[in-house]
Structure 1
Amino acid sequence: MSSDSGGLVGAVASNPFAGEWNWRAGALAGFLAAVVAGVAVSVVRLETLRLAVAGLYGFEGSLLAGWVAHLVHGVVFGLVFAWVLSDPGFYHLADSWWKTLLAAVAYAVVLAVAGAGIIMPIWLGLLGGPALGPLPYVTWSLFGWHVLYGVVLGVAYPVVEHRVAPDR
């Protein structure tokens, strides 16, 4: 670890152009972030998981389906985040914990607006699910849940990435 960079993350320190995708770290960090954000959703507005998230897959009303879908989404988006960080053009985003945190929060804001604010309402509308409102449909709570996901993802990813070697 280098003291001048705030602590280099994983393989980036040795070769920033290696481009190794640490999918395990992305999946685990995404899962942890989804659990924390899911608890927040459950506390603030449980029907979001039961109706909207479960409704994406035709299981409207099922809390279990909502949780499973939410966790799968969190893992998939964690994988995508790790993949983006593995791009040699973005190596600088993973060379310190605070840059990774900021990148994860920015990524989560994009997920909130594009994913939950635009794609999700259209998808639900196509399935005959609940109407959410005008596009983009982004409430303060939805925005906050996604920022929380980004914060946990951004904190967890460097920790997990440092401990879990990418598949070679």
Structure 2
Amino acid sequence: MAITDVTELAEVPTERRALGAGIAGITAGAVFGLYLQAGGTMPTIASLVGSDSLAAGWAVHLLVSVVFAFGFAAAVTGSRLSAFVGSRGGGVVLGTLYGVLLWVVAGGVALPLWLGAVGASAPAIPNLTMESLAGHALYGLVLGGLYPTITRLLTAGWGAFEQPS
């Protein structure tokens, strides 16, 4: 069965869509995580769980990345956005917009609130830096590009990318 668009992708069993979102989320989270690590931000992420270790920062970051990927998959699969996310470049556009939304809600508001709640040094709300925007947009771009692609591969293998005759 060739999965050629997300309208068909919405008919893929939920566990395959969830696996596709999880793989895309870990991958996008790893890309964003490297960006965070290069900027020295991983200890701040680790402080969300009372740690300052690099491993804790990565664990928290990747877990949150997967949770947000599930949110993206749920929002675009089976909605009016589904046909667009499956088009060439549509997933990248929607993913990038999702990353910008995460920048505002998660990076700008939730992160400072959480840091304050655990007694860590917290930036003012909203915490909307250009560095954070770049990282969240990068996460969304990778997520939006990979989610439909990986889910197609999990469903139909390489035949999912054959052009209909």
Whether these two folds match at TM > 0.5 is yes
The one of 43, 49, 67 equivalent to 2:42 is 49
What percent identity do the matched residue pairs reach? 29
Residue 109 of structure 1 deviates from its aligned partner by 0.6
Q: Does structure 2 conserve the Cα–Cα contact (< 8 Å) formed by 1:112 and 1:142?
A: yes
Q: Distance in 2 between matches of 1:9 and 1:75?
A: 23
Q: State the alpha-carbon separation in 2 of the partners of residues 90 and 155 from structure 1.
A: 14
Amino acid in structure 1 at the alignment position of 2:122: A
2:150 equivalent to 1:160? yes
Residues 158 and 58 (structure 1 numbering): CA distance in 2 closer, same or farther, change over 3 Å? same
**5+ unaligned residues in a row in structure 2: which ranges?**
157-165
Displacement after TM superposition at 1:87 (Å): 2.8
Instruction: Confirm whether residue 118 of structure 1 aligns to residue 109 of structure 2.
Output: yes
Structure holding more helix per residue: 2
Over 3 Å counting, the alpha-carbon distance change for 1:19 and 1:135 in structure 2 is: farther
- Given the two structures, how large is their TM-score scaled by the length of structure 1? 0.82
Q: Distance between the aligned counterparts of 1:71 and 1:136, measured in 2? A: 23
- The two structures have a TM-score, normalised by structure 2, of 0.83
Q: CA RMSD in A?
A: 2.4
| Distance in structure 2 (CA, Å) of the matches to 1:26 and 1:9 | 16
Q: CA deviation at 1:58?
A: 1.6
Say whether the 8 Å CA contact 2:21–2:69 is kept in structure 1: yes
Deviation at 1:20, TM superposition (A): 5.3
Equivalent residues, number: 154
What is the DSSP-based 3-state SS (H/G/I as helix, E as strand, rest coil) of the residue aligned with 2:81?
helix
Residue number in structure 2 paired with 1:34: 29
